[in-house]
Amino acid sequence: MSFDLNFIGILIGAIMASSVPLILAASGELITERSGVLNLGVEGMMIIGAISGFALMVVTDNLFFAVIGSMLSGLIISLIFGLLTQSLLTNHVATGLALTIFGIGMSAMIGKNFVGIPGKEFPLLFINLKESIPFLGPIFFGHSIILYFAFGLPFLTNYFLKKTKTGLIIRAVGDSPTSASNQGINVTLVRYSCILYGGAMCGLAGAYLSLIYTPQWIENMTGGRGWIALALVVFATWSPIKVLIGALIFGGITILQLHMQAVGLRIPVQLLSALPYIMTIIVLVVISRDSRKIKLNTPTSLGQIFYKEK
Amino acid sequence: MEVQLIKIEKRNDVSRSIYFLTPVLAIFLTLFGGGIIFYILGFNPIEALKFFFITPISDLYGLSELLVKATPLCLIAIGLSFCFKSNNWNIGAEGQLIFGGIVGGGVALLFYNHDGFYVLPIIILSGAIGGILFAMIPAILKTYFNTNEILVSLMLVYVAKLLLDYLVVGPWSNPEGFNFPETRQFSESARMPILFGGLRIHAGIFITLITVFLTWLILYKTYLGFQIKVSGLSLKTAKYAGYKGKTMIIIVFMISGACAGLAGVGEITGPIGQLHRNISPDYGFTAIIVAFLGRLNPVGIIFASLIVALTYLGAETAQIFLQVPKYTGQVFQGMILFFLLGSDYLLFFKIKFLGLKKNEL
């Protein structure tokens, strides 16, 4: 086996690409959770984004509409979650599960007529630079615009949460909704907005899968990525930059696993495929062992229902 | 001047009749919502709903199939009710079911060509133990490492699925099976007895019914049940009363793991008769809905399991007659849970319609 520098560059590029849906979904969910809402429907919102993006691409033949549409549909489906948890004060865990089950079923219903249709080529930027510069070329160039957006998103999110007034309000709502409410902040409105934002990002993450990563529609194509994204938020102890690092690690495991299969190592394929899930558990254990550290970073009111007497 | 038509007030106490009536309301709303979806898809909604909910159970075979599907759903949901009642979010019952199936199936293959009354009980017991062992992973990680049980139990579902896949493709695959991803057919002594000739309903239903009865006993007649309920209502009170929180977590996970494992072994020794890739159509996940719809109450769960089992049958019938994907069942299952959770609002709040008084106009 020869490991020339360019090959490693291509490998890193592939790892980046496979981490994009995780970064997008986890960054969105991070904002939602920072406002104190635990939405376990990530998988469902992603799969809805994936099918609506793909369907719109087929119907309108326009990738821009497809991407925007996937975000909108993620947003709309998360509105169900918002209505239930914020206005009807339902349990976050159960509602999120319902959203995932509903989303998977709904996507299969919508996607019935889109199975087997080939996808459309998504424009990749700076293709010539990718090929002309060895090693760095395949890392930095030749990606879709969504990848560049995804890699900027954690930094934007970090800035937004730490340096802007809106970010401060979101954190205040997540840490102490009662005091925030007493300060005249509309807790329900803030939480609604964060839920919708999370939905849009999950929709985009799904569209990345069905439009760019594997450009086609397959039932259940998110394959548990939504759940890994949820685990990533805990892994990152609710810090956006660590989400990026975590997503790259998981992307790395996925790509490594594919390459080990291709090389034909004498390890069962299933064990390799199980690696990301087993790794998630191990990482969660390591992170959570220090309960003080988790407590310090967890939005205090995460998953709790807020009700204001009128 | 603003006129208030509706006034929402917080209830002081939860009305018991509304508590058990809202699930019925949720089912009606789901039928309504499903009708709308069918209409949008271009079907006559009444016809489509008839295909979904009435055609499947209009003969004896259909009724038997309903019980075949309700048997594992009810069993898993009963186990989960212990977890949910005590605020432990075990959502990986599907993994525990599969692992129970793997262990039970392994034992069944071990006893291949053995005759004897002892074979089936050993298989069933080992399935339950498999489920318990697999449920112990999130339970121990939660109690000793403070790890989130939702994520761990869920990740383990994928691990169990891949393990099953590895076994049926590799070491356990049928030597005479032309490389199909499946094991041998279990021998007769390893199969659940069929209750009526020509129908698939099997003795597993008795395991479910016995478990329901035991659950009722434990929850309502023992100190353990009382502790579980108190921990669910208020962790602080439970701590103050000196209940051993960690032991409780382990116990409820053991119970739900055992139930899921039993459901798994019931499937492979009952209707399936061997191990292959898809030994469960997501019963472990759907049972979560059953548990909620049944209000975490043993009797409620029996009714809920029948209703949710019907969505499985309905989806199969609709797939044949209306050519909709079998995932349609999940749309209904998701909707039931949405509407159920949503209508819980009526439990805690009173909605008063004030109407317009003449002098306000």
CATH at residue A63: 1.10.3470
- The tokens describing A141, both together, are 């160039």
Q: What is the pLDDT of residue A272?
A: 80
Q: Is A303 a member of any domain? A: no
The angle, 0 to 180 degrees and rounded to 10, between the axes of the packed helices B204-221 and B223-233 is 80
Q: What is the pLDDT of residue A129?
A: 75
Q: Which of B148, B139, B159 is nearest to B98 (CA)?
A: B159
The span from the CA of B337 to the CA of A213, in Å, is 33
Mean pLDDT across B321-328: 84
Does A25 have pLDDT greater than 90?
yes
What kind and span of H or E run contains B6? strand B6-10
Q: Is A306 a member of any domain? A: no
pLDDT tens readout for residues B122-148 = 999 999 999 999 999 999 999 999 888
* 3-state secondary structure labels for all residues of A3-25: CCHHHHHHHHHHHHHHHHHHHHH
Does B9 have pLDDT greater than 80?
no
Q: What is the pLDDT of residue B177?
A: 80
With tokens 């029996």, the residue in question is: B302
With tokens 């094991």, the residue in question is: B183
For chain A, report the end-to-end CA distance as a whole number of angstroms. Answer: 70
The span from the CA of A99 to the CA of B337, in Å, is 9
DSSP for B289-307, please give it.
Answer: HHHHHTTT-HHHHHHHHHH
Q: Is A308 a member of any domain? A: no
Does B361 have pLDDT greater than 50?
no
Q: What is the pLDDT of residue A248?
A: 93
Does B240 have pLDDT greater than 90?
no
Q: What is the pLDDT of residue A136?
A: 77
B155:A94 CB<8 A: no
Tell me the nearest-neighbour CA distance from A289 into chain B, angstroms: 5
Q: Is A112 a member of any domain? A: yes
Interface test with A, best of B102, B311, B331, B351 (most A CBs within 10 A): B331
pLDDT tens readout for residues A155-199 = 999 999 999 999 999 999 999 999 999 999 999 999 999 999 999
How deeply is A163 buried, as exposed, middle or buried, from its count of CB atoms within 10 A (0-12, 13-18, 19+)? exposed
Residue A301 CB: number of other CB atoms within 10 A? 21
For chain B, report the end-to-end CA distance as a whole number of angstroms. Answer: 9
A273:B338 CB<8 A: no
Q: What is the pLDDT of residue A307?
A: 79
Q: What is the pLDDT of residue B80?
A: 96
pLDDT tens readout for residues B89-130 = 999 999 999 999 999 999 999 998 888 899 999 999 999 999
CB B326 within 8 A of CB B319: yes
pLDDT tens readout for residues B39-66 = 988 889 999 899 889 989 999 999 999 9
Q: What is the pLDDT of residue B302?
A: 96
- The tokens describing B171, both together, are 């070491």
Cβ contacts of B152 on chain A, cutoff 8 Å: 281, 284
Cβ contacts of A108 on chain B, cutoff 8 Å: 325, 327-328, 330
Q: Is B321 a member of any domain? A: no
Q: How far is CA A182 from CA A176, A188, A194, A300, in A?
A: 10, 13, 20, 17
Question: What are the b/e assignments for B169-189, b being 16+ CB within 10 Å?
Answer: beebbbeeeeeebbbbebbeb
Predicted confidence band of residue B4 (pLDDT cuts 50, 70, 90): low
Cβ contacts of B324 on chain A, cutoff 8 Å: 109, 112
Q: Which carries the bigger pLDDT value, residue A259 or residue A46? A: A46
Task: State the total domains in chain B.
Answer: 1
What kind and span of H or E run contains A95? helix A92-111
Q: Is A219 a member of any domain? A: yes
pLDDT tens readout for residues B184-235 = 999 888 899 999 888 899 999 999 999 999 999 998 899 988 888 888 777 7
The angle, 0 to 180 degrees and rounded to 10, between the axes of the packed helices A5-34 and A225-235 is 80
The span from the CA of B283 to the CA of A109, in Å, is 20
Q: Which carries the bigger pLDDT value, residue B228 or residue B74? A: B74
CB A250 within 8 A of CB A232: yes
Cβ contacts of B169 on chain A, cutoff 8 Å: 270
B146:A291 CB<8 A: yes
Mean pLDDT across A120-139: 77
Task: State the total domains in chain A.
Answer: 1
ipTM of the predicted structure?
0.88
- What does the DSSP 8-state code read for residue B351? E
pLDDT tens readout for residues B156-193 = 999 999 999 999 988 999 888 888 889 999 988 889 99
Residue A137 CB: number of other CB atoms within 10 A? 20
A102:B330 CB<8 A: yes
Does B79 have pLDDT greater than 50?
yes
CB B45 within 8 A of CB B35: yes
Mean pLDDT across A134-151: 85
Q: Which residues contact B149 (CB under 8 A, 6 or more apart)?
A: B88, B89, B90, B138, B139, B141, B142
Across the interface, of B8, B150, B341, the residue whose CB is closest to A90 is B341
Mean pLDDT across chain A, nearest whole number?
89
* Full residue range of the structural domain in which residue A95 is found: 5-297
CA B198 to chain centre: 26
List, in sequence order, every residue forming a beta bridge with B351; answer none if it has no partner: B8
Q: Is B146 a member of any domain? A: yes
Q: What is the pLDDT of residue A81?
A: 96
List, in sequence order, every residue forming a beta bridge with B190; answer none if it has no partner: none
Q: What is the pLDDT of residue B1?
A: 45
pLDDT tens readout for residues A81-117 = 999 999 998 889 889 999 999 999 999 989 988 988 8
Q: Is A84 a member of any domain? A: yes
Predicted confidence band of residue A309 (pLDDT cuts 50, 70, 90): low
Mean pLDDT across A278-304: 82
* Full residue range of the structural domain in which residue B91 is found: 70-296
Helices (H), A208-239: 225-235
Across the interface, of B89, B286, B331, the residue whose CB is closest to A102 is B331
